[in-house]
Structures are given as structure tokens and as C-alpha cells.
């Protein structure tokens, strides 16, 4: 199933049959990974993390609602269940 987005960010499914293959990598699934060189407390800076992840997702045309953290927060709306720190010595 292919999801499309309108200019007002309304997501809808494309009903027509469609076959796509990437010319770059032969259709292999790609991942985006952001790595920090210093320790980054994902709980303490959760809002910032979701903001950056949302910007990356927008760059590859993924809806911000699909950007989540491990506590249930989404881009633009951090979870209420984020601990004070994610650091575990």
C-alpha cells in the first residue's frame, strides 16, 4: 500500500496498483540513522530529539505522525511518560 500526502499534509492511500523500483539501490529498504559524537540523553532532550527526527522524516517525505520515540511521543508532541533521564549507569 502506498501512502500519499496532499499539500495540507492530509495522508491518503493510493488505490491504483503500482510497482516501484529505486534506480539507486534496486529497491532495497533504506534507513536513516542520526548518530551523535557525544552522549545525548534522549529523555532529557526528548522534545529536541523528536524535532530533529521530524525534520529528517520530512526531508524524505515521511509523515511526522510516523516519527515516534520509545515512550510513545510523536514529532511535535512528546510523551507524558518520558523519565527525567534515560541514562543508566
Sorted by sequence, the CB contacts under 8 Å of residue 88 that are 6+ apart come out as none
pLDDT at 21 over 80: no
> What are the residue boundaries of the structural domains of the chain, listed by start?
35-89
For residue 64, the 8-state DSSP code is: G
Name, in order, each residue with C-beta under 8 angstroms of 86's C-beta and a sequence gap of 6 or more.
Answer: 41, 42, 43, 44
CA-atom Rg of the chain in angstroms: 16
> Residues with Cβ < 8 Å from 13, sequence gap 6 or more?
1, 2, 3, 4
Q: What is the pLDDT of residues 37-82, one digit of tens each?
A: 888 888 888 888 888 888 888 877 777 777 888 888 888 888 888 8
Amino acid at each position: 500500500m502506498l501512502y500519499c500526502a496532499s499539500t495540507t499534509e492530509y495522508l491518503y492511500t493510493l488505490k491504483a496498483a503500482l510497482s516501484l523500483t529505486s534506480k539507486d539501490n534496486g529497491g532495497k529498504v533504506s534507513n536513516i540513522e542520526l548518530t551523535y559524537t557525544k552522549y545525548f540523553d534522549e529523555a532529557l532532550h526528548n522534545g529536541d530529539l523528536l524535532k530533529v527526527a521530524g525534520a529528517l522524516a520530512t526531508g524524505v517525505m515521511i509523515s511526522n505522525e510516523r516519527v515516534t520515540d520509545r515512550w510513545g511521543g510523536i514529532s511535535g508532541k512528546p510523551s507524558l511518560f518520558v523519565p527525567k533521564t534515560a541514562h543508566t549507569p
